[in-house]
Amino acid sequence: MAEESRPRLGRGLAALIGDAGEEGAAIARSRGQKKVPLAFLRPNPRNPRKAFDDQDLEDLVASIREKGIIQPILARTIAGLADIYEIIAGERRWRAAQRAGLHDAPVILVEADDKQALELAIVENVQRADLNALEEALGYQQLENEYGYTQADLAKVIGKSRSHVTNTLRLLKLPEKTKQLLAEGKLSAGHARALLTRADADEIAARIVAQGLSVRDVEKLAQKAAPQTKHKPAAEEKDADTRALEKDLGEALGLVVAITHQGEAGELRIRYKSLEQLDDLIRKLKR
């Protein structure tokens, strides 16, 4: 096969995975794009996407039969194997093209190491909403564990907010049965987040599936299960100095602050309503 120039990664990332209708992306794809026989392409075993819904795949097969593959597959060479390429992004298109009876597909070849290939695979799948929430979390964890990414790094590379990355990674703390329902699409990410603090997450997850509970229904269950706070007797009311200190700290941080103490020891609580507020608090404390 004739060798063609391969775009390097970096600032061309957005152009490589941009929408088909964007002029800049179309120009970038035309460079280094070639037709490759489907038999010469191999799936990436490290692809964060593991689940391929059969009905969705059949819908794509019908579209490909009518219009062909509009968005090229992104691939890289495999060391030691001439003319064999590993798919970085586009495995679903490759699978559908085979079902549709195509013999080749448009491919963009890029030079990418394992880290860059994983980045691209996650970015493309996240932007297309092709990953379920658990797959997305596992992809982020893989970048953290294998390549030392911080959550700030992930947010920058993936193009999501820091709070989105943090919230998604928290889903990995769910019990296994609940994570399996999430992976199967029987639970939404919203359902899963509402279960994070529940000791009976598996039981509630099963009820969500069986009864079709909404996220709001799950939140109401959590509120009912929360212990009721009893009003403190007058003897335990905070003194004026403590209330003044709470007020000063609260104004400095822009959050609700509560201080309790007994003798020389005590506890400082800072309440936040969103992960954005938490990020802001962490930045202030680090300064």
List the catalytic residues.
Answer: 91
Helix (H, G, I), strand (E, B) or coil at 9: coil
Rounded to whole angstroms, how far apart are CA atoms 30 and 17? Answer: 13
Whole-Å CA distances, 199 to 178, 194, 195, 209: 12, 12, 8, 18
Exposure class string for 25-36: b at 16+ Cβ within 10 A, else e: beebbeebbbeb
30, 16 contact by CB (below 8 A): no
**Euclidean distance between CA atoms 244 and 175, whole angstroms:** 42
The H or E element that residue 249 is part of is: helix 240-253
Burial of 100 (0-12, 13-18, 19+ CB in 10 A): middle
Query: 269 forms bridges with which residues in the sheet?
Result: 258
H helices of 18-132, in order, are 23-30, 54-67, 91-99, 114-127
How would you classify residue 68: left for phi > 0, otherwise alpha for psi between -120 and 50, otherwise beta? Answer: left
Region for 5 from its dihedrals, namely left if φ exceeds 0, alpha if ψ lies in -120 to 50, beta otherwise: beta
